[in-house]
């Protein structure tokens, strides 16, 4: 099968190809020569397993993500559905910001909050939430969010881990898209509505983690 390199992410190389006639993405976690071989092997196996497990669990919970086609530990490849006609939420947010489209930014934030609320109420921790790791299909009211890149994910019901997940997103969101504090608050508010049982504890933890976060700059 012909493979075309489309992107080199932090985890590996992404190729566009076809899997039995269906458009697919081949994600190859190639050997990272900078890592100790023992460490590299252990991390790669861990992450491939984590990604496959989370993709399945998301689909079972009604959270949109690419369909998993095949896992090949030997060649370090995961083959999954290629989501057609989609852009990353990072690009989409930039476009909306350039157009000053407050209405659609607001509905985007609500959509993100809703997906994350559902993700966490199913005890899935993504581990690397950024706007680059969310795809969006369609535009404005008719759009849907698809989560990708589950290599660092795991399952846990603890509020601390969910808090860290949101903290990671908050930092990535605010540093990638400056002056969006109000928008991030909308994400959190919608998150609370979609994760009724646990959101209160998670918000408390998030507050705690933010305080921890500031401490580090003390000594230089």
Partner 1 sequence: MVIAIGFEGSANKLGIGIIQDGVVLSNPRHTYITPPGEGFLPRDTAKHHREHALDILQAALQEAKITPEQIDVVCYTKGPGMGAPLISTAVVARTVAQLWKKPIVAVNHCIGHIEMGRLITGAVNPTVLYVSGGNTQVISYSEKRYRIFGETIDIAVGNCLDRFARVLKLSNDPSPGYNIEQLAKKGEKFLELPYAVKGMDVSFSGLLSFIEERAPVLIKKGEYTPADLCMSLQETIFAMLVEITERAMAHCCSQEVLIVGGVGCNKHLQDMMRKMAEERDAVLYATDERFCIDNGAMIAQAGLEMFKCGMTSPLDDTFCTQRYRTDEVLVKWRD
Using only C-alpha atoms, the chain has a radius of gyration, in whole angstroms, of 18
We find the least distance from the C-beta atom of residue 14 to partner 1, in angstroms, to be: 10
Nearer to partner 1, 153 or 190 (CB): 153
We find the least distance from the C-beta atom of residue 34 to partner 1, in angstroms, to be: 4
42 near partner 1, judged by CB under 8 A: yes
39 near partner 1, judged by CB under 8 A: yes
- Asked if residues 23 and 5 have their Cβ atoms less than 8 Å apart, the reply is no
Span near partner 1 by CB under 8 A; candidates 36-44, 92-100, 102-110, 186-194: 36-44
User: Looking at residue 140, what DSSP letter applies?
Assistant: G
35 near partner 1, judged by CB under 8 A: yes
219 near partner 1, judged by CB under 8 A: yes
Q: Mention every residue, 6+ apart, whose C-beta is less than 8 A from residue 90.
A: 130, 131, 132, 176, 177
- Tell me the torsion sign for CA atoms 37, 39, 40, 41: positive
74 near partner 1, judged by CB under 8 A: no
Q: What separation in angstroms does the CA of 181 have from each of 101, 109, 131, 174, 199?
A: 16, 11, 15, 7, 19
We find the least distance from the C-beta atom of residue 12 to partner 1, in angstroms, to be: 10
211 near partner 1, judged by CB under 8 A: no
List the structure tokens of 142: 């008719």
Tell me which residues are annotated as active site: 128
**Cα-to-chain-centroid distance, residue 140:** 20
Question: Which residues, in sequence order, are bridge partners of residue 14?
Answer: 7, 27
Nearer to partner 1, 105 or 169 (CB): 169
Instruction: In whole angstroms, give the CA distance from residue 51 to residue 68.
Output: 9
Print the binding letters for residues 175-204 with partner 1: x by CB under 8 A, - otherwise: xx-x--------------------------
**Cα-to-chain-centroid distance, residue 63:** 12
3-state secondary structure of 219: coil
Nearer to partner 1, 31 or 185 (CB): 31
Instruction: In whole angstroms, give the CA distance from residue 116 to residue 122.
Output: 10
213 near partner 1, judged by CB under 8 A: yes
We find the least distance from the C-beta atom of residue 48 to partner 1, in angstroms, to be: 15
Point out which residues bind partner 1 (CB under 8 A). 8-10, 32-36, 38-39, 42-43, 90, 127-130, 132, 152, 164, 167-169, 171-172, 175-176, 178, 209, 212-220
């Amino acid at each position: 099968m012909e493979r075309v390199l489309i992107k080199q992410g932090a985890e590996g190389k992404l190729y566009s190809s076809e899997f039995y006639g269906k458009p697919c993405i081949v994600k190859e976690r190639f050997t990272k020569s900078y890592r100790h071989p023992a460490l590299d092997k252990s991390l790669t196996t861990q992450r491939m397993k984590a990604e496959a497990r989370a993709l399945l669990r998301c689909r079972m919970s009604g959270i949109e993500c690419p369909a998993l086609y095949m896992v090949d530990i030997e060649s370090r490849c995961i083959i999954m559905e290629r989501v057609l006609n989609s852009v990353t939420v990072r690009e989409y947010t930039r476009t909306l910001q350039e157009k000053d489209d407050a209405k659609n930014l607001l509905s985007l934030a609500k959509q993100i909050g809703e997906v994350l609320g559902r993700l966490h109420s199913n005890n899935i921790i993504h581990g690397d939430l950024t706007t680059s790791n969310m795809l969006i299909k369609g535009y404005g009211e008719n759009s849907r969010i698809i989560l990708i890149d589950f290599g660092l994910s795991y399952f846990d019901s603890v509020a601390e881990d969910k808090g860290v997940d949101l903290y990671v997103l908050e930092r990535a969101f605010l540093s990638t898209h400056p002056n969006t504090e109000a928008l991030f608050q909308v994400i959190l508010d919608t998150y609370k509505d979609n994760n009724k049982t646990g959101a209160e504890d998670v918000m408390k933890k998030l507050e705690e983690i933010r305080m921890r976060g500031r401490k580090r700059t003390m000594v230089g």
